[in-house]
Each structure stands twice: as C-alpha cells, then as structure tokens.
Amino acid sequence: MIPPHAGSRQHGGPGKKSLRSFPGPVGRRKPEERVRGRGDAVGVPAGQSGPGRPGQEEKPGQEQKPKDLAPHAPRVPREGLRGGPEVTQGYAGGQLWNPFHVTSRNLPPATLGLTRKGVKEMLKEVQEVKVGGRTRRVHVRPFAWNLHAPTHMEWTPDGRLLVVERTTGKVKDVTKGGDMEEAKPFAWGLQGPSSMCPLPDGRFLITEFWGGRIRDITQGGDARKSDVVAEGLQAPYSLVYDERRRKLSVTASAGRSRADILIDLETGQKEPLVKDIPLFPPPGFEDVSSPPNDHKRGITVFAGCNDWKKVNRVPELPYGSLLTVAEYLLGVPDAGGPFSFADLLEHHCLASGLHFTGGMIDDPLNPEITYITQPLRGSVIAVNVRDQGDYRHQPPVVSGLPMVSCVRISQNGEKMFACSISGGVVWVIEGFSSLEA
C-alpha cells in the first residue's frame, strides 16, 4: 500500500528521488524536515499526521501562515513554471520567485556545492568543435571558483580581471584565479553590482542594479564612500563608453520597458538613445510577472537578463555600440536618435537566431568577430557582425558552462574567460582563437 504522502511534492511520487537528498551549500536536510510552502504546517515530521493530512482534521486557528513581507513581488504561478519540474522544483504555487534564489531546491545538483574537482566533472575538459567541416579542440578548465552569483567581468586599465558578485555586493580580483571564497574583495558595499566600464581617463565605473546608481570604484575599498557619477536610474545594468558620441551609455528601465540612455559625464545630462526595448523573459518564465499597475517592481524581474551592450570596434560599421536583446544582435547608429527597438530590428539587425543572449565581447585580434554568451544553453557562440546571418544552426565555440553570463578575452587573444552565475565559477577556454564564425 502506498503511504498517503508518497505522491506529495516533497517526495515527488513513487520512483522519484526525494528533494531532501540533493546536496547543497547548506548541507542535506534532515529526515524530519520538509519543503515548506505557503500555508504548510511547521515542525511536522514527514510521515506523521498534521493539519491538512489524513487522520487529523484541521482546527480553526491551528494553521499559521507566514507573514507576506512583499505582497506585490513576482510570484510563481499556481500551475508552476513552464519548462518542466526542473524549473519549478522547490517552489509551491504562489510563492515569491527570486531569480537569484540559488538553493538545492531550484538548481540541478551538479551546480551546487562546487569544488575544483566538482566543476571539472561537469563538462569535458577537451571539446571538439566542428566549424565549416573542420574540427578543432577547445580546452576548458575552471579558473576561479567559490564566487557568489558572478554576473559580469571586466579588465581594468592596469590589466586586472575583476568580477562582480551580485548577491554579496562585492567586486573581486580573479586575475590569479583560484578559490575566491576567502579572497579579499577589491570593492564592497555595493547594492546589486552589475556592469563595469573603464573610461579613457583611467576611471573605472560600475552600475548598481538595486541602488539605481553608477559609481566610480577606481580606488576600490568601501564603495559607499566612492563618488556617484549618476543616480536616479531604475535597474541600470549594461554600461559602456560610447567613444564616437563621447558619452556613457547604460541600459535601464523606463516604465514597463527598457531603454538605452546616454549620460554626459561633464554635465550629468541624460537623454534616451534607444526606447521601447521590450522585455523578453527567458524560456520557462513567461508567466512570471507582477500586477499590471506595479511599474517599478515588476520591470526589474528580468531587467538586465534582457539587454547587453558593447562598443563597436569595426571602423567601417556606422555604429557606436552593439546591443543584444533576446535572440537579436542590433547595431546602434553613431549619429542621430533617439531610436526605437522596432527601428533597429528592421534596419540594423546584425544577427538573429542567437537564442536567449547574455554578455558579449569582440575578439581583440579581429573585431569583426563577437563572442556572445547563451546562458540557458550554457554556451558561447561566435558571430561575424558583417554577415547579418541567422545563427540558429551555428555550433558554439564552447558548451557545458551552466548559466554562463559574461565573456572576456585576454589581450593576446589566446584565452577566453566566462563566468557562470549558478556555478559560481570563472572558466578559462583555450584553443578557440583560430575558429571562424
């Protein structure tokens, strides 16, 4: 006879592995603990009777619901998330959804509790990539690990590689690689550090996604004491210096859409460059949203996952910067504006079929080649910005990197660095430079 609780969400039904057995950074859950959802009883050991269970009736006032501290925050639909149990796992219908809620209940076991040995077992160290009938060997290995939600990397003017930790508010120097758990941060005290940008005058800027600011962290240290370059922005993310316009360019929220905003560094004046950039939630999260009248909280759910920028370094192309939105790579003209997303998609689309895109960077030895991350596919693809091609069937340069969000190339063009949000790892990839897009 099957016990009454055998088909519950906690056990996943007969023949399925219990969620309690998933290892995670907080260790294994004890047998008497259970996955707590909205309205669940607290402290009832698995297999015993309790409120809402067969054999015992619920008494008035017996059930204690947790206080809802964020009534308007995004919630997981009652019917679950699209994409199967791997996406919804660990959430009860109606619970708060947090895209950075990294626990043993909402990520595959392979991405949790990673050590150097663990990350090396997650993918082949030597991958064979076929491009144009040729086969090349690409070497992959973990370079830095034990990072917390690393979403962006950038080279400093003096040659250091910095990476942000979104959830800890820190920026760490990973130039030498290794275990970053106890590494002293380069900067700290930031509210949702996101994109970093070096300026021609030597300054080093960073966006605060949750703080709505751009700060100067050139000197490092406590960022709360650093200079504020711009503020009053809503969910600012990707940041570049448009060399042709000689202004900062940052993507931020505007109403219930996104925008690319130019900022004059001398006057602080802001002006729109690209308007009405739609939000494209990643596959499986289309139904996650906030109330229609919640213009501030709802727009930040997928902001930053949606739009990334880089400077255009191909002199012949009439673009000051390039912009990825969902599966498209768009050119942003170096004169005129403001432009709408529809205008860029119709007249300045440089590549399509890129799946859901993340960060990107050009090859320092050949700026016509841009490397773009594909977080949900765990891969990095090479795109020729002159081709205006469809890349749906183009093989990636490297794959097997869970939730890879940002990519950077060494100055000699021989090493590629890619960071994984869920794995907390920066990978180094070699042998890719001779591949042609």
Residue position matching structure tokens 């890349």: 391
pLDDT the model gives residue 431: 86
433 — pLDDT class (breaks 50, 70, 90):
low
> At residue 48, what are phi and psi to the nearest 5 degrees?
-95, 165
Predicted confidence (pLDDT) at residue 264 exceeds the cutoff of 90: yes
How do residues 277-336 score in pLDDT, each as one tens digit? 987 665 555 555 544 454 444 444 444 456 788 999 999 999 999 999 989 999 999 999
Evaluate whether 383 touches 391 at the Cβ level (below 8 Å). yes
How do residues 236-248 score in pLDDT, each as one tens digit? 999 999 999 999 9
Average pLDDT over residues 347-376: 93
Residue 311 contacts by C-beta under 8 Å, 6 or more apart in sequence? Answer: 240, 241, 242, 243, 320, 321, 322
How do residues 1-50 score in pLDDT, each as one tens digit? 444 444 444 444 444 443 333 333 334 444 344 334 433 333 333 344 44
pLDDT the model gives residue 281: 63
Can you read off the two tokens belonging to residue 201? 């005058």
Q: How far apart are CA 269 and CA 264, in angstroms?
A: 5
pLDDT the model gives residue 371: 95
Predicted confidence (pLDDT) at residue 86 exceeds the cutoff of 90: no
pLDDT the model gives residue 422: 84
Higher pLDDT, 196 or 123: 196
Lowest mean pLDDT among 184-188, 262-266, 427-431: 427-431
93 — pLDDT class (breaks 50, 70, 90):
very low
Amino acid sitting at position 199: L
pLDDT the model gives residue 255: 76
CA 270-271-273 angle, to 5 degrees, is: 135
402 — pLDDT class (breaks 50, 70, 90):
confident
- Residue 408, judged by CB atoms within 10 A of its CB (0-12, 13-18, 19+), counts as buried
